[in-house]
Amino acid sequence: MSSLLVSRFIILSSNRQSSTLYAILRCWRHTHTAAAPSYGEPLDSHRESVVPVFRHAPRYGDRIALRDRHGDYTYRGMFLSSRQLACEISSLLEGRRQERVAFLCPNDASYLITQWACWMSGQIAVPMCSSHPVPIMEHYVGNSEAKLVVATQEYADQVSQIASRCGSKLLVLDDSLRMLAMKPEPRKLVQLDEDPTVHEVLEAGLEPEFYNDSGAMIVYTSGTTGSPKVHPIEIRTSIYPSSAVELNRTSALANYATEAGYMLQVLVAGVVLTHSNIQAQVSSLIQAWEWTQKDIVLHTLPLHHVHGIINVLTCPLVVGARCVMLPKFEASRVWSQLLAINMPANERVNMFMAVPTIYAKLIDEYEKIFTKNARMQEYVKSVCAKNIRLMVSGSAPLPSPVSDRWADISGHRLLERYGMTETGMVLSNPLKGERKPGFVGTPLPGVEVQIAKMKPGQDPEVIVRGDSSRSVVLTNKHSSGELLVKSPGVFRCYWKQPKATQQEFTPDGWFKTGDTTRFENGYYQILGRTNIDIIKTGGYKVSALEIETHLLGHEEIKECVVVGLPDITWGQKVAAVVVAKEGKEIILSKLRDWSKERMAPYAIPTVLKVVEKLPKNTMGKVNKKELVNQLFPESAH
């Protein structure tokens, strides 16, 4: 079956000049699409009509939407290639809507073409990650009940096995659609009149009303900082398969967990985001960070998380800006882009968004190359300060030493923000104004927050309530509490998990983030996950993140993670897992002496474990629960 699909699609996508092909496309378009809405209206997340991102593309025509390792792609080209793929998807799914389409593409134009095609045909996109092992990808496909799996040729072999085991159809893409979306070479511009699509009105997608309340995407959360929000199954303990396919999948995951040497937590559902959610999240960021058509953002993040999908890819495409996408993070290539080496002025990136780990690696690269050359240091700082208008850090806490060093190097105080898969971005330091290291600013436009004390069986006791205009302290009885969020960007549900969804909301509709937060001098600060980053020792509540920030100021520590371990006397004891800088040795007694001048006595680590490296996921996060299971098995719950 898969081979037939491959050959059929390669033939279909390889000759846009064929009049027969265009007759077929027009027929499909009249069957599966409706006229596009007016494009002159401003984006407003609160209006009834939702405009999916692909319907903004016709406004920008032959402007460059994307640059990847292959070349440049226009908005018009991306739209046409996506529309063509959407027709094939609709045909394979027999005209059904809201089916799940899992897809695996590299970080290039093929990803965006596939994403837009899913939405044009009315499906729910399920992005996968190539760095995940096959059992994890198989879980995404099986759990989402994807009826179709789409992949590029480089992933065809591994994905074909997944599709076969999950009973999904398979569609393998060649390079034709991606190449057809590219900006025409100058010598070929004279031939454009021969293309019958040049003068036609660009229409695609379903009737406008469809997108007001339809699902757009299922994103599986990483669950790195505590129990994932979807109530995971511990593979080795209890498995309740509903079918033979499920049994095969969970068995494979169990085997993978055993071979990896740790307890793998499997998410039994994903986060369902609607087109309305996405529009609200994007609108908020466009307003807060003042996105315009002039912006060129550098993208070097994975494309199965909202950070890479929404913040760095969708935002620029809604306003007509440009995204420069690297296939993966490489410090040297990022520095080349930031310093605009051999680039004309109008090609230079002016925005960059990354995770703290990326900034730490960029600093390491800088130290190796530039520290012995004072003139180059001045040049780097001058270029970054002059050419780049915004640098953002998120997805994990930003250590103060990294923030301070990056400011010294680049002249930029990183804008820290806070968000979740379930909510999109919630809090942000200001674009203009003071950015306080260690704090995540104030609520973004359209977002309301509360800090509340959560008591079982009782209504939350609200400590602070705020929105983008102001925040008000309602009581001084408590210094911190759980962050609650309400906004049009908050997700619809956990996939096929109504009880889990209900449990994560208060009766009056506030989403419970699980993050302990405090409000200080007009700014919000995330103290950590309520169940993993707040250590209760000797009657005190200690933030693991604050301890980590202090330890990263130690001249011999490169990286660290702080966890709480059970203790009969103290309730929990503070344990530090550190990576020493090259050639350095860390001893607990000396570390405790150093800490006495910087931390409260009860916050000083009493346990030290030195490791060569910290296990991290693709977003640079450490799963602390798994880390405890691996390094302190006697303390694991």
Structure tokens at 109: 């134009």
Q: How deeply is 222 buried, as exposed, middle or buried, from its count of CB atoms within 10 A (0-12, 13-18, 19+)?
A: middle
Residues facing 120 on adjacent strands: none
Give 475-491 as a DSSP string.
Answer: -SS-S-EEEEEESTTS-
**Residue 497 shares a structural domain with residue 463:** yes
User: Is 381 a domain residue?
Assistant: yes
Write down which residue in 164, 194, 212 finishes a domain.
Answer: 212
Give kind and range of the element (H or E) at residue 527. Answer: strand 523-529
Rounded to 10°, the helix 588-595/544-551 angle is 100
Range of the domain at 577: 532-635
The pLDDT score that the predictor gives to residue 397 is 84
**Residue 480 shares a structural domain with residue 544:** no
Q: Which whole number is the average pLDDT over 32-45?
A: 35
Q: Which whole number is the average pLDDT over 590-596?
A: 94
Q: Which residue has the higher pLDDT, 325 or 395?
A: 325
Supply the CATH number for residue 397's domain: 3.40.50.12780
The pLDDT score that the predictor gives to residue 581 is 93
- The answer for residues whose C-beta is within 8 angstroms of residue 74's C-beta and 6 or more apart is 61, 62, 63, 64, 65, 181, 182, 183
- Residue 472 CB coordination number (10 Å): 10
User: Is 588 a domain residue?
Assistant: yes
In 293-389, beta strands by DSSP E: 296-299, 322-325, 351-354
pLDDT band at 195 (very low <50, low <70, confident <90, very high): low
Measure the CA–CA gap between 280 and 370, rounded to whole angstroms: 42
Give kind and range of the element (H or E) at residue 383. Answer: helix 374-387
What does the DSSP 8-state code read for residue 95?
T
**Residue 510 shares a structural domain with residue 539:** no
Given a cut of 80, whether residue 201 has pLDDT beyond it is no
Measure the CA–CA gap between 637 and 633, rounded to whole angstroms: 9
pLDDT band at 244 (very low <50, low <70, confident <90, very high): very low
Given a cut of 70, whether residue 341 has pLDDT beyond it is yes
CB 620 within 8 Å of CB 222: no
Given a cut of 90, whether residue 538 has pLDDT beyond it is no
User: Is 225 a domain residue?
Assistant: no
Rounded to 10°, the helix 2-13/75-92 angle is 140
Supply the CATH number for residue 196's domain: 3.40.50.980
Which of 153-162, 384-393, 451-460 has the weakest average pLDDT? 451-460
- Residue 601 CB coordination number (10 Å): 10
The pLDDT score that the predictor gives to residue 372 is 86
Given a cut of 60, whether residue 11 has pLDDT beyond it is no
% of the chain residues with pLDDT over 90: 67
**Residue 19 shares a structural domain with residue 136:** yes
Task: Give the residue from 356, 348, 362, 332 showing the smallest Cα distance to 414.
Answer: 356
Place of tokens 């569609």: 171
**Residue 496 shares a structural domain with residue 611:** no
Q: How deeply is 466 buried, as exposed, middle or buried, from its count of CB atoms within 10 A (0-12, 13-18, 19+)?
A: buried
Which of 96-105, 219-228, 479-488 has the weakest average pLDDT? 219-228
Measure the CA–CA gap between 164 and 225, rounded to whole angstroms: 33
User: Is 394 a domain residue?
Assistant: yes
Q: Which whole number is the average pLDDT over 27-35?
A: 33
- Kindly report, residue by residue over 270-283, the tens digit of the pLDDT: 999 999 999 999 99
| Strand, helix or coil for residue 131 | coil
| Strand, helix or coil for residue 416 | strand
User: Is 496 a domain residue?
Assistant: yes
Most confident of 197-211, 224-238, 418-432: 418-432
Measure the CA–CA gap between 457 and 444, rounded to whole angstroms: 31
Task: Give the residue from 430, 391, 397, 398 showing the smallest Cα distance to 414.
Answer: 391
**Residue 190 shares a structural domain with residue 41:** yes
Given a cut of 50, whether residue 226 has pLDDT beyond it is no
pLDDT band at 549 (very low <50, low <70, confident <90, very high): confident
| 532-to-80, 546, 565 alpha-carbon distances in Å | 47, 13, 10
Write down which residue in 165, 181, 212 finishes a domain.
Answer: 212
**Residue 358 shares a structural domain with residue 397:** yes
User: Is 445 a domain residue?
Assistant: yes
Alpha carbon 469 to its chain's center:
27
Measure the CA–CA gap between 357 and 386, rounded to whole angstroms: 24
The pLDDT score that the predictor gives to residue 184 is 86
Measure the CA–CA gap between 507 and 511, rounded to whole angstroms: 10
What is the tally of structural domains in the chain?
A: 3
The pLDDT score that the predictor gives to residue 221 is 75
Q: How deeply is 189 buried, as exposed, middle or buried, from its count of CB atoms within 10 A (0-12, 13-18, 19+)?
A: exposed
**Residue 51 shares a structural domain with residue 189:** yes
Q: Which residue has the higher pLDDT, 11 or 562?
A: 562
Using the CB atoms, write b or e for 14-35: b if 16+ within 10 Å. eebeeeebeeebeebbeebbee
The pLDDT score that the predictor gives to residue 166 is 96
Calculate the dihedral angle through the C-alpha atoms of 443, 55, 85, 282, rounding to the nearest 10 degrees.
Answer: -10
Measure the CA–CA gap between 109 and 182, rounded to whole angstroms: 9
User: Is 222 a domain residue?
Assistant: no
pLDDT band at 194 (very low <50, low <70, confident <90, very high): low
Q: Which residue has the higher pLDDT, 568 or 498?
A: 498
The pLDDT score that the predictor gives to residue 568 is 76
pLDDT band at 198 (very low <50, low <70, confident <90, very high): low
Give 34-49 as a DSSP string.
Answer: -----S-SPP-TTSS-
| Strand, helix or coil for residue 19 | helix
**Residue 327 shares a structural domain with residue 188:** no
Using the CB atoms, write b or e for 238-277: b if 16+ within 10 Å. eeeeeeebbeebbebbbebbeeeebbbbbbbbbbbbbbbb
In 18-152, beta strands by DSSP E: 64-67, 72-74, 100-104, 124-127, 148-152
pLDDT band at 237 (very low <50, low <70, confident <90, very high): very low
What's the sign of the alpha-carbon dihedral 538, 543, 545, 549?
negative
Expressed in percent and rounded to 5, the helix, strand and coil fractions of the chain are 40, 20, 40
Measure the CA–CA gap between 370 and 136, rounded to whole angstroms: 40
Give kind and range of the element (H or E) at residue 365. Answer: helix 356-369
Please tell me the total number of residues recorded for the chain in this structure: 637
Give kind and range of the element (H or E) at residue 531. Answer: none
pLDDT band at 537 (very low <50, low <70, confident <90, very high): confident
Give 502-517 as a DSSP string.
Answer: HHTB-TTS-EEEEEEE
Write down which residue in 472, 495, 528 finishes a domain.
Answer: 528
The pLDDT score that the predictor gives to residue 18 is 35
Place of tokens 């009509």: 49
| Strand, helix or coil for residue 150 | strand
CB 98 within 8 Å of CB 218: no
Measure the CA–CA gap between 433 and 611, rounded to whole angstroms: 39
Supply the CATH number for residue 581's domain: 3.30.300.30
CB 162 within 8 Å of CB 113: no
User: Is 61 a domain residue?
Assistant: yes
**Residue 581 shares a structural domain with residue 495:** no
| 533-to-207, 384, 498, 514, 543 alpha-carbon distances in Å | 46, 34, 28, 11, 6
The pLDDT score that the predictor gives to residue 637 is 54
**Residue 392 shares a structural domain with residue 461:** yes
Structure tokens at 27: 């027929």
**Residue 315 shares a structural domain with residue 187:** no
